[in-house]
């Protein structure tokens, strides 16, 4: 498994960071109090590096959730510490080569002072950007879009829709964040709400208060209801640092997830659609990688469009923004997706833009309007840097 391949690098970087911090403290304060600082730093780093693993092993409980949460913060710290670590290794290499050539350290004092200054700047940089990322992580905003669709048959001329995705309810996201999301949705006065997958974060037992969460979703007021599709994390799997562990060949949602949606008044569409207000058609696709219960392989864009009523606008809910060109060519009018988180932390947003035809925001694909949201919640590091947590307010105009 990839988790076992990357774990040595994870622990090596943690040890190297601790070692670098101790070297920096030694230079800054000298030997007198260094012993106690060294013990404290190694204790903090050992706890931080093992937090996610401890949370993975512990049975479902408050402590499991806390360890997972702290571990996800540490994951973000490590990601932003990679550059300083590489710079340190390069400096050590240059230092040793120069020392060997000169045969003395006297002429290297200036280099040493420069190294200390650079190390201090790097430490401040990592601290500032990580603290910002943590506080910005769940600062949810409203992003607005307006699209026009050929009316065809149907009586509605305008639809106020809200799209959300990637709540990842579980270790990092709970009732507090979902209440804020629900309040923002209600402020938008939506006619309909579309939910594009990754509602849960794999483990239903990690929800902080399922009954309260159901109450929160039930409080969302709409004219035509809420419709959802599942994503790749709406399956019952163990997750450690972003890597999933399948204990069986089945990739299915926990039955309690399905019951949650039903009780919250959310209509789950599993490779099926529904006519809304005799005016437009909503079709929910199973996830591209993990289609879920009872579905071995989802319908192709052509196959699904053959099942929808003719002469009505068609809105496709899909978690991953795959097959956008195929959906456009098959005749879909609007595609709504999530999954990418817009990279969640810089520079990952640059990387995801190279993978998908539309990794974030609005893009016209042929005759189809594609909107991809950066999502409400978080996955992996408990941070957002260079991206936003959002709900999407979409005004859909049906024109003749």
202 contact partners, CB below 8 Å, separation of at least 6: 170, 233, 235, 236, 237, 238, 239, 244
**Does residue 176 share a domain with residue 159?**
yes
**Does residue 212 share a domain with residue 309?**
yes
CB 319 within 8 Å of CB 165: yes
pLDDT at position 248 is 53
**Does residue 176 share a domain with residue 152?**
yes
Whether 2 has a pLDDT exceeding 70, the answer reads no
For the segment 331-341, the average pLDDT, to the nearest whole number, is 96
Bridge partners, 119 (sequence order): none
**Does residue 323 share a domain with residue 285?**
yes
**Does residue 150 share a domain with residue 126?**
no
Among left, alpha and beta (phi > 0; psi -120 to 50; other), residue 225 is: left
Total domains in the chain come to 2
367-399 pLDDT, tens per residue? 999 999 999 999 888 999 999 999 999 999 998
Tokens 């479902």 identify what position? 60
CA neighbours within 13 Å on the CB side: how many for 287? 23
CATH number for 189: 3.60.21
**Does residue 164 share a domain with residue 95?**
no
Among left, alpha and beta (phi > 0; psi -120 to 50; other), residue 370 is: beta
30-69 pLDDT, tens per residue? 666 667 777 888 888 888 888 888 888 888 778 888 888 8
Where does residue 215 rank: exposed (0-12), middle (13-18), buried (19+ CB within 10 A)? middle
Tokens 């040793």 identify what position? 96
pTM across the whole model: 0.88
287-300 pLDDT, tens per residue? 887 777 677 789 99
CB 304 within 8 Å of CB 283: yes
**Does residue 130 share a domain with residue 157?**
no
pLDDT at position 20 is 78
Look at strands 158-164 and 192-196 and give their pairing: parallel
**Does residue 293 share a domain with residue 158?**
yes
Going from the C-alpha of 171 to that of each of 119, 251, 302, 373, 374, the distances in angstroms are 33, 20, 38, 21, 19
Among 136, 163, 181, identify where a domain stops.
136
Q: Sorting pLDDT into bands at 50, 70 and 90, what band is 340?
A: very high
> Rounded to a whole number, what is the distance in angstroms from the first to the last CA of the chain?
54
**Does residue 367 share a domain with residue 291?**
yes
**Does residue 130 share a domain with residue 205?**
no
Among 107, 136, 165, identify where a domain stops.
136
The three-state (H, E, C) secondary structure of 75-138, written as one string: HHHHHHHHHHHHHHHHHHHHHHHHHHHHCCCHHHHHHHHHHHHHHHHHHHHHHHHHHHHHHHCC
Helix, strand, coil share of the chain (percent; to 5) = 45, 20, 35
SS3 state of residue 199: coil
Q: What percent of the chain has pLDDT over 70?
A: 88
198-255 pLDDT, tens per residue? 999 988 988 999 999 999 999 999 999 999 999 999 987 766 655 666 555 566 788 9
Distance CA 343, CA 305 (A): 30
Residue spans of alpha helices (H) in 265-347: 301-306, 324-330
Q: Sorting pLDDT into bands at 50, 70 and 90, what band is 115?
A: low
**Does residue 153 share a domain with residue 273?**
yes
CB 296 within 8 Å of CB 308: no
For the segment 73-88, the average pLDDT, to the nearest whole number, is 84
Give 384 or 25, the one with higher predicted confidence: 384
Q: Which domain range does residue 86 map to?
A: 2-136
Going from the C-alpha of 79 to that of each of 33, 127, 217, the distances in angstroms are 30, 12, 34
**Does residue 131 share a domain with residue 144?**
no
CB 183 within 8 Å of CB 341: no
Residues in the chain: 400
For the segment 124-138, the average pLDDT, to the nearest whole number, is 91
Among 136, 162, 180, identify where a domain stops.
136
pLDDT at position 224 is 96
């Amino acid at each position: 498994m990839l988790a076992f391949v990357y774990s040595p690098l994870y622990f090596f970087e943690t040890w190297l960071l601790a070692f670098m911090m101790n070297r920096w403290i030694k230079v800054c304060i000298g030997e007198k109090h260094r012993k106690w600082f060294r013990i404290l730093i190694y204790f903090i780093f050992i706890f931080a590096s093992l937090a996610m693993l401890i949370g993975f092993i512990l049975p479902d409980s408050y402590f499991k959730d806390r360890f997972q949460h702290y571990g996800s913060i540490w994951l973000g710290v490590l990601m932003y510490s990679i550059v300083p670590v590489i710079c340190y290794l390069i400096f050590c290499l240059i230092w040793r080569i120069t020392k060997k050539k000169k045969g003395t350290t006297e002429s290297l004092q200036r280099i040493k002072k420069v190294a200390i200054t650079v190390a201090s700047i790097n430490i401040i940089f990592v601290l500032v950007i990580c603290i910002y990322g943590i506080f910005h992580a769940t600062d949810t905003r409203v992003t607005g879009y307006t699209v026009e669709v050929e009316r065809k048959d149907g009586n509605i001329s305008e639809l106020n829709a809200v799209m959300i995705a990637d709540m990842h309810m579980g270790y990092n996201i709970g009732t507090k964040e979902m209440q804020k999301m629900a309040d923002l949705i209600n402020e938008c006065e939506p006619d309909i709400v579309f939910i594009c997958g990754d509602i849960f974060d794999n483990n239903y037992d990690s929800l902080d208060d399922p009954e309260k969460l159901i109450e929160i979703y039930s409080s969302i007021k709409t004219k035509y209801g809420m419709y959802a599709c599942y994503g790749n994390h709406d399956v019952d799997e163990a997750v450690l640092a972003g890597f999933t562990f399948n204990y069986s060949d089945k990739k299915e949602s926990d039955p309690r997830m399905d019951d949650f949606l039903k009780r919250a008044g959310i209509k789950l569409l599993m490779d099926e659609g529904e006519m809304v207000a005799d005016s437009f058609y909503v079709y929910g696709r199973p996830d591209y990688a993990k289609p879920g219960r009872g579905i071995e392989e989802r319908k192709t864009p052509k196959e699904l469009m053959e099942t929808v009523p003719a002469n009505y606008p068609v809105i496709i809910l899909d978690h991953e923004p795959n097959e956008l060109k195929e959906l456009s060519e098959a005749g879909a009018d609007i595609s709504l997706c999530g999954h990418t988180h817009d990279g969640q932390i810089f520079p990952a947003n640059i990387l995801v833009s190279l993978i998908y035809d539309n990794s974030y925001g609005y893009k016209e694909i042929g005759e189809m309007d594609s909107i991809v949201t950066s999502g409400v919640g978080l996955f992996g590091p408990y941070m957002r840097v260079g991206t936003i947590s959002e709900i999407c307010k979409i005004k859909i105009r049906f024109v003749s």
